[in-house]
Amino acid sequence: LQRRHYSLFTQKMSNHTDAAAEVLLERKGCAGVITLNRPRFLNTLTLGMIRQIYAQLKKWEQDPKTFLIIIKGAGEKAFCAGGDIRALSEARNTNQKMLQDLFREEYILNNAIDSCQKPYIALIHGITMGGGVGVSVHGQFRVATEKSVFAMPETAIGLFPDVGGGYFLPRLQGKLGYFLALTGFRLKGRDVYTAGIATHFVDFEKLGMLEEDLLALKSPSKENIADVLETYHAKSKTDQDKPFILEEHMDKINSWFSTNTVEQIVDNLQQDGSSFALEQLKVIKKMSPTSLKITLRQLMEGSSKTLPEVLIMEYRLSQACMKGHDFHEGVRAVLIDKDQSPKWKPADLKEVTDEDLNDYFKSLGSNDLKF
């Protein structure tokens, strides 16, 4: 009896330790399962989590008994709401090295997911933004549900849509990616699939069963895995007949954002004058002018680069943003004081010169990102 009591106690203890871990890495059935485990913080990524995921991903890639990798978020609210932005801003004065390490290691992980030799399945239920997009969108399969919320809202905090945004955003239909990048517009539910961010859509109530069916596969091929996902996708009827939220605006979006300056985009929206155009104009005018200009150029350049080339460019941008004014002011206004009134410097698009912009994109020499 005593022994049984002890084993129950140790089991409880190990469960407790697991619950306290920021990320759970488990072998289940034929798969390696990654669970982002900070539900109280919407599963935002820390440097420690990035390191653990990368090391385990590399092990599972080499393990002949691991046939697929699943990544999901704990709780029902979020897959992952991004990186730990607040910690980044706090590190500005105390830990310069962390500002380099976090971006470097996060981008290396994003690239490792893209080149992963095993099928990688992200269950992007709930909020999926910024860094959360980085650990999902580059994987082979991304499953959205009716509760998925996708956004790249970085221009609102003086940053830019990183984690490979310069690669995947310009490759979405028409100019949709440019629109999402500059406005931070949120896509919800089936629209995340229609836009091409997700590869499949599954009703939330079926997500647990889908995972069980994937784990139960015996030595599955990529095709076997795709078949299971396809079956669940075909059975999911939520919002099946609802048109894409931006469907009626796509022609206009394609025309407004088909220009190579932010000033021209602003003019296009102003001249259009429709309520949708003016709504987007209002949003863009709240964003960091520097971020807007960086982002447009990032996507234009990224449209013809490979993902590693994009990540090298984004690492340069990240380091320049950490040294600049707007990121720390954005974090203050949105996350710390929450007054939602950032004072951008420069405050006007025309004050952000091409020369300023070139500085952001400059090579870091021996400090450049390497793969």
Residue positions annotated with a catalytic role: 83, 131, 154, 162
Measure Cα distances from 111 to 50, 105, 163, 177, 178 in Å.
12, 10, 9, 20, 22
Nearest to 37 by CA among 45, 28, 26: 45
Please report which helix (H) or strand (E) contains residue 188, including its range.
strand 187-188
* Separation CA 163–CA 355 (nearest Å): 25
**And the tokens for 324?**
């600049």
Burial letters for 155-168: b for 16+ Cβ neighbours within 10 Å, e otherwise?
bbbbbbbbbbbbbb
Q: What angle do CA 75, 78, 82 make, to 5 degrees?
A: 135
Instruction: Determine if residue 70 is left, alpha or beta; phi over 0 gives left, psi from -120 to 50 gives alpha, anything else beta.
Output: beta
Structure tokens at 177: 């990616």
* Cα–Cα nearest to 177, from 163, 153, 195, 192: 195
Q: How far is CA 349 from CA 284, 297, 324, in A?
A: 11, 14, 16
Q: Strand pairing of 187-188 and 23-28?
A: unpaired
Of 294, 282, 343, the C-alpha closest to 159 is 294
Structure tokens at 281: 């104009």
Residues 249/156, Cβ–Cβ less than 8 Å: no
3-class DSSP state of 208? helix
Three-state SS at 144? strand
